[in-house]
Structure 1
Amino acid sequence: MEPQNDTQILEILLGFSEDAELQPFMFGLFLSMHLFTVLVNLLITLTTISDSHLHTPMYFFLSNLSFVDVCFTTTTILKMLVNIQMQGKVITYAGCITQMCFFTLFVVLDNLLLAVMAYARYVTICHPLHYMSIKNHALCGLLALTSWIVSALNSLVHSLMVFQLSFCTGLEIPHFFCEPNQVVHCACSDTFVNDLLVYIAAVLVGGGPLAGILYSYSKIVSSIQKISSAQGKRKAFSTCASHLSLVSLFYSTLLGVYLSSAVTQNSSSTATPSVMCTVVTPMLNPFI
């Protein structure tokens, strides 16, 4: 097959299973999960916006996270639902790059918002006298806007680099969506620069926010230990418990996606952890 780079190239998403009998069940299951995720997360976002009592940093960033989760799960699951319903597995080259772009955007944005939320809790517990400074709406907006801009620039750079690659016709992607790592390593041309860019981005927009989260909570734990009353300690821990659960769920599922992607090319092995990351995690976030 001759390598080429054409917007008409058709790519095959192998998905979960070839069993036709499972398709209606999978369609109903993922459609109901997707609708529930969209409904509950949008409800959180709208409630936060409409209720003046919830105009605090915690709920402001939570509403942003809920909105991003809606976009995140829609980016990955919608094409799969369409393919199941149409009994096809085809996606165009342009559609695949677009899906990759938005997937990268929202996964990095999730990461940055979790880091900003950790900073907000750090200020609340460790520097309560400075809480009013972070409660300032302009600062909250600036932090959220910066997260969006950094995520968008990162996504744009990765997408432009993929455009430089050449792909063969009849490309088969062992996944239910165009997961960036899988697509890059299906290219017919050299991917050294793309791999290098992924490692650099992983350190900057992946490891950087994670380091900020770990630093914030190391200071939070140190401050909580200095609280004399047991009730005060419980209150401080309860403030952080939900966010820590979100962080643990996000990073554990994301790590599962990229470990499985690096180890195997089997579609079911790589798709299962991706479902946890892109479908289950956004659905569980409102409960947490």
Structure 2
Amino acid sequence: MNHSVVSEFLILGLTRSPTLRGVFFFVFLFIYLAAFLGNALIVVAIICNTTLHTPMYVFLLALAIVDIVCTTTIIPKMLWAMLTAQKTISYVGCMSQLFFFTWSLGAEMVLFTTMAYDRYVAICFPLHYSTIMNPYMCVALLSIVMAIAVTNSWVHTGLILRLNFCGPNTIDHFFCEIPPLLALSCSPVRVNEVMVCVADITLAIGDFTLTCISYGFIIAAILRIRTAEGKKKAFSTCSSHLIVVSLYYSPVIYTYIRHASSYTFERDKVVAALYTLVTPTLNPIVYSFRNKEMQTGMKKVFSFLKC
């Protein structure tokens, strides 16, 4: 049962400078609109086009929804604080933000691995793809993604709810994340740190390793392609995917693998921005907008809206 005397937290945000705060407001407003509209367009295009109802696009649909949840959980509140200088967030609001953020974090990591496996099957076993990646397999994989994400979120949020916050309530960050909350707790946080480390090893490092292995097999298959144009196209796609995946996993592993006493929040704010703001904006560009079938589906959506 929670015995915390803190009823609200004060979130300092990215900067205390009024001038920089105004600049950051427009920068992150643009980032949020780009991420939200880009991912929303992917959701609409895939739902409205039956030709895109295949495993690869179903996983892209799930990734787009996760990115919308991630950015909407964090950025609107941050923009409101920049605009009004109202930096407080209620205890319940903070815990809700933490829950949905950790859910999206876990879901995105497992989805990257699932999507890499889907591409591995498609490239390495093209003749058996429809048999392996049948509707039942897709449902099973998405159910695993959801189960892992919800479990991860419930565990960390539940452990935070058990902590007492009886002293300082200033969060030196731009949202309610686990490290700054642990730094504010007046209860022992050893169990929290152990579970964060376990999750980082199993989800972040584990999923990143599995994703790299899948792309290793994919690259080996690409090398067997005879045409130079085919190799160039395949390598371009794989390299862009791996860059985005690395950009996501690296800061996550860096943030959550350390002891609470080693957190340096000024630097960690920049690191956190990579996997909370930058990657959800890049995902639609890298995974969808460069795809010809997706471009066709989006054109159909725009032509329908014009009518």
TM normalised by structure 1 equals: 0.89
Task: List runs of 5+ in structure 2 lacking aligned partners.
Answer: 287-307
1:194, distance to aligned residue in structure 2 (A): 0.8
Distance 1:279-1:262 versus aligned 2 partners, 3 A rule: farther
> Could you tell which deviates more after superposition, 147-156 or 89-98?
89-98
Partner of 1:276: 274
Q: Distance in 2 between matches of 1:210 and 1:95?
A: 31
Q: Distance in 1 between matches of 2:179 and 2:126?
A: 43
Partner of 1:94: 92
Q: Does residue 1:83 correspond to 2:42, yes or no?
A: no
| 1:9-65 Cα distance to aligned partner (Å, 9 max, x none) | 221111122222333332222222212210111001110111122222222111211
| 1:71-103 Cα distance to aligned partner (Å, 9 max, x none) | 111111121112222312211222111111111
> Could you tell which deviates more after superposition, 107-116 or 225-234?
225-234
Q: Does residue 1:161 correspond to 2:162, yes or no?
A: no
Partner of 2:101: 103
Q: Distance in 2 between matches of 1:63 and 1:216?
A: 21
SS, match of residue 9 in structure 2: strand
> Could you tell which deviates more after superposition, 156-165 or 51-60?
51-60
Partner of 2:184: 186
1:253, distance to aligned residue in structure 2 (A): 3.9
Q: Distance in 2 between matches of 1:113 and 1:39?
A: 20
Identity of aligned residues (%): 37
| 1:203-228 Cα distance to aligned partner (Å, 9 max, x none) | 22222222211221222223333344
SS, match of residue 184 in structure 2: coil
Q: Distance in 2 between matches of 1:21 and 1:12?
A: 20
SS, match of residue 285 in structure 1: helix
Partner of 2:291: none
Distance 1:26-1:234 versus aligned 2 partners, 3 A rule: closer
Distance 1:74-1:150 versus aligned 2 partners, 3 A rule: same
Q: Would the aligned equivalents of 2:12 and 2:173 in 1 still touch at CA under 8 Å?
A: yes
SS, match of residue 15 in structure 1: coil
Q: Distance in 2 between matches of 1:270 and 1:67?
A: 26
Q: Would the aligned equivalents of 2:196 and 2:257 in 1 still touch at CA under 8 Å?
A: no
Partner of 1:245: 243
Q: Distance in 2 between matches of 1:89 and 1:137?
A: 46
Partner of 1:254: 252
Q: Distance in 2 between matches of 1:199 and 1:259?
A: 5
1:258, distance to aligned residue in structure 2 (A): 4.6
Q: Distance in 2 between matches of 1:54 and 1:237?
A: 23
Q: CA RMSD of the aligned region, Å? A: 2.3
SS, match of residue 200 in structure 2: helix
SS, match of residue 12 in structure 1: strand
Partner of 2:47: 49
Distance 1:244-1:21 versus aligned 2 partners, 3 A rule: closer
Partner of 1:61: 59
Q: Would the aligned equivalents of 1:12 and 1:170 in 2 still touch at CA under 8 Å?
A: no
Partner of 2:124: 126
Partner of 1:39: 37
1:245, distance to aligned residue in structure 2 (A): 3.0
1:119, distance to aligned residue in structure 2 (A): 0.2
Task: List runs of 5+ in structure 1 lacking aligned partners.
Answer: none
